[in-house]
Amino acid sequence: MQLSQSIKLRQKQSLVMTPQLQQAIKLLQMTNLELSQHLQEQMYDNPFLEVTGATETALNETTKQTAGPADAEALNKNLSATEGQNDVSALRESAALSDDPTQHQEVENRFDTALVDMPRASGPSQGFADGDFDLIDNLSAEDGFYPMLFKQMNLTFTDPTDRIIATHFINALEPTGWIGTTVEDIAAESGCSETQAEAVLAALQGFEPAGLFARNLAECLKIQLIESEQYTPLFGQLLDNLEQLGRGEIKQLSRKFKCEPEDIVDMLGVIRTLNPKPGEHLGIEFREMPSPDVIVTRKKGGWSVELNRSTLPAVLVNEQYAEMMANQKRADQAVQDYSSDSLTNARWLKRAVEQRNQTTLKISAEIIRHQTDFLDKGLDYLKPLSLRDVAQAVGMHESTVSRVTTGLLISTPRGGMPLKSFFSVNIASRDSDVNASAASVRNMVKKIISQEVPNKPLSDEAISKMISEQGIDLARRTVAKYREMLNIPSSSQRRMQARLSEFR
């Protein structure tokens, strides 16, 4: 076989993402604070661009308003970044339009600001069928303490119910790294059982740096000893007697624990290497809980959904300066080209940010439109919701909904939480009126087990029948799967634990 080199001409069609298209996609994924930082950077390079600290535009959505096809199509036209050819073409088309200074115009506010009721609710999800949940990607300690906690939360908890409870615990952290409230209060705030809150807290106590989420000094030290694999039953006894150890009663403690005084001294040396306040060295940034991007409040007649204006920057184009530069007849061609490009980019960016805000608001309102039962009644009323459901309702592509919801925080009367935690898969039911999410069913399994008689634990089969009586078909294997996801032992193991506890 003979090899040869040759040059051939061939026509080929391909989709290419323009820089403005790439920027539009990035804008969709930014939180309000990230958007503010990005615009500040752009402002330094563009003399026509002005950025103010807060927007004065009416950015709110009422819950009774339905998403009309015309509005959805208009919103999707500029900022629906998808893998499909039509969506990419639409984005490219919008960039081309905004490149023309003669077509610059204000973007109208397509949202009715009248306040009305919201229909139903839905809730957070586990393992999201539409993609893995990653609130803040590629973070380090320099990015802030709370973002680090949220990333660890996303990696640790797959159950959206647990994520909501975990968010309440994170909100309760004090500068020392301890939690400033009780498990009972967290359970009441999040609408879950104390057993469920305790399980979430146990998982949170494995976060870095070690010692966080402790309720007292002894627990803080115990967490660090367990993490460093130094914890022993004798250490546990010593931590239960910290006051006596603080008074230097070494001999009394050694007699009490039936060990040598040298053993107590050695353990005391180990304890002195631990950090009793693991959050203190993080400074004032530790106190700064990330501001929500979306705020949900109850108003007369329903729920109000709005973007957080205190963190949302407003983009302005200095038209006076643009007019002045246009009248500079003696300016050389390079200056004219630079001014024209900068003005075009400023106008495009202004429109892109406005569309990003409107897209975020519309998607957030549609999510909350499904979630009123959760907001009104608590975690047991989380209902199934997928990216596809929201995308179809607002007339956008699923990837657009995913980009908007990933990373944003929403403030509700039930606390702050990631916006994407409202998505959950559906569980089949015999009754068409029963509509349960996987998250709410897992919560049902938790509650049933928490209320069982300790010496007579319920089997997976019994739990399956109890849930089936409520109209939800749940196989025994599914109960076992959910129980394992919740780190709950089997009925035989729970029975053994109950018997052992009687001898303590």
Phi and psi at 90, nearest 5°, equal: -65, -40
Q: Which residue has the higher pLDDT, 125 or 319?
A: 319
At residue 435, the pLDDT reads 53
Lowest mean pLDDT among 76-85, 185-194, 231-240, 492-501: 76-85
Q: Which pTM value belongs to this model?
A: 0.54
On the question of a cis peptide bond just before residue 209, with omega within 30 degrees of 0, the verdict is yes
Q: In this predicted model, what pLDDT tens digit does every residue of 289-307 receive, in sequence order?
A: 678 889 998 888 788 899 9
Q: In this predicted model, what pLDDT tens digit does every residue of 321-345 receive, in sequence order?
A: 888 888 877 767 888 888 888 899 9
Cα distances (angstroms) measured from residue 118 to each of 27, 298, 426, 430: 28, 10, 21, 27
At residue 456, the pLDDT reads 87
Comparing C-alpha atoms, which of 467, 466, 448 is closest to residue 457?
Answer: 448
Q: How confident is the model at residue 428 (pLDDT cuts 50, 70, 90)?
A: low
- Mean of pLDDT over the chain: 75
Q: How confident is the model at residue 425 (pLDDT cuts 50, 70, 90)?
A: low
Which pairing describes strands 294-299 and 409-412: parallel, antiparallel, or unpaired?
parallel
Exposure b/e, 43-62, CB count within 10 A at least 16 = b: beebbbbbbeeebeeebbbb
What is residue 492's three-state secondary structure?
A: helix
Residue type, position 398, single letter: E
Q: Is 57 left (phi over 0), alpha (psi -120 to 50) or beta?
A: beta
DSSP structure class, residue 430: S
Cα distances (angstroms) measured from residue 371 to each of 327, 380, 419: 55, 12, 11
Q: How confident is the model at residue 363 (pLDDT cuts 50, 70, 90)?
A: very high
Q: How confident is the model at residue 193 (pLDDT cuts 50, 70, 90)?
A: confident
As a whole number of angstroms, the longest Cα–Cα distance in the chain is 96
d(CA 301, CA 283): 43
Residue type, position 322, single letter: A
At residue 359, the pLDDT reads 92
Which pairing describes strands 415-418 and 314-317: parallel, antiparallel, or unpaired?
unpaired
Comparing C-alpha atoms, which of 320, 415, 414, 429 is closest to residue 375?
Answer: 414
Q: Give the start-to-end residue ranges of the domains of the chain.
A: 217-278, 426-502
* 64 pLDDT more than 70: no
Q: How confident is the model at residue 152 (pLDDT cuts 50, 70, 90)?
A: confident
Hey, what's the torsion of the CAs at 80, 84, 90, 93, to 10 degrees? 120
d(CA 25, CA 21): 6
Residue 316 pairs with which residues in a beta bridge? 50
Q: How confident is the model at residue 128 (pLDDT cuts 50, 70, 90)?
A: very low
* 80 pLDDT more than 80: no
Q: Stretch 4-19: mean pLDDT, rounded?
A: 82
Q: How confident is the model at residue 353 (pLDDT cuts 50, 70, 90)?
A: very high
Q: Which residue has the higher pLDDT, 59 or 149?
A: 149
Q: How confident is the model at residue 135 (pLDDT cuts 50, 70, 90)?
A: very low
CATH topology of domain 426-502: Arc Repressor Mutant, subunit A (1.10.10)
